[in-house]
Amino acid sequence: MKVLIDQNEINSRVIALGRELAQEYQGRPLTIIGILAGSLVLLADLIRAIDVPHQVGLLQASSYRGKSTKPGELFVNLDYLPDLSERDVLLVDDIFDTGKTMQKVMAQISEQEPRSLKTAVLLWKEEATEVDFGPDYHCFKIPDHFVVGYGLDFNNEYRHLPFIASLEGSDLV
Ligand code: 5GP
Ligand code: MG
Ligand code: MG
């Protein structure tokens, strides 16, 4: 395993992003929505770095890998979502890869007609992006390699690592 971004680098970028977002959303009815499960570590750190009042909600986006559905088909669970009407919504995810997850989640959130809708991610694989937009805010751009840690998993392992690493020597890199 090779560390790509260490704990200190992540910490400073998340703090800086929190400050930027606090300025942007000062005096506005902000709701931050974390996309489970990958965003959970970033979400916990970011909301404590945003020094203006805001609400927090969650939704779940997961890819079906079962035999009965196409691989990679995306399922979005909105059961835990708070009311977003008249709210300025910031969607938070671990990584923006092809962008299809964010595109689908944004379409579903838009149906609730929030005041505004923006996106923030820890990592952006810009060269892998297949949609015609990118995240509004990102902490780091990374090459198109599979990474784990700081919320990102492989087979539900490694989420707890406080750094971002690539699984060197595995078939995944
Ligand atoms: P997208 O829909 O943008 O292609 O993919 C976004 C989702 O794919 C992320 O929320 C994450 O769950 C997963 N993903 C994409 N790239 C990586 C990666 O390098 N490592 C891990 N662990 N998950 C990834
Ligand atoms: Mg995810
Ligand atoms: Mg995953």
> Could you please report the per-residue DSSP string of 137-169?
EEEEE--S--EEBTTB-BTTBSTT-SSEEE-TT
pTM: 0.93
Pocket of ligand 1 (CB under 6 A): 38, 93-101, 146-148, 152-154
Question: Which residue numbers are catalytic?
Answer: 97
Residue 41, both tokens: 């570590």
pLDDT of residue 11: 98
Nearest-10 crossing angle of helices 7-25, 40-49? 60
Mode of pairing for the β-strands spanning 137-141 and 116-124? parallel
What is the rounded CA–CA span in Å between residue 45 and residue 120? 13
Say which ligand is closest to the CA of 122.
1
What are the start-end ranges of the H helices in 54-157? 100-110
pLDDT of residue 109: 97
Q: Residue 73 pairs with which residues in a beta bridge?
A: 64
Q: Is the ipTM of this complex over 0.85?
A: yes
Topology (CATH) of 2-142: Rossmann fold (3.40.50)
Chunked mean pLDDT (size 10), the chain, 173 residues:
97 98 98 97 98 98 67 85 97 97 97 98 97 98 96 96 86 53
Ligand 1 pocket test, candidate residues 97, 126, 163, most atoms within 8 A of CB: 97
Say which ligand is closest to the CA of 131.
1
What's the CA-to-centroid distance between 119 and ligand 3, angstroms? 19
Other C-beta atoms lying within 10 Å of the C-beta of residue 34: 26
Residue whose C-alpha is closest to residue 91's, from 64, 51, 61: 61
What's the CA-to-centroid distance between 38 and ligand 2, angstroms? 5
Residue 122 Cα to chain centre, angstroms: 6
Q: By the 8 A CB rule, do 2 and 157 touch?
A: no
pLDDT of residue 171: 57
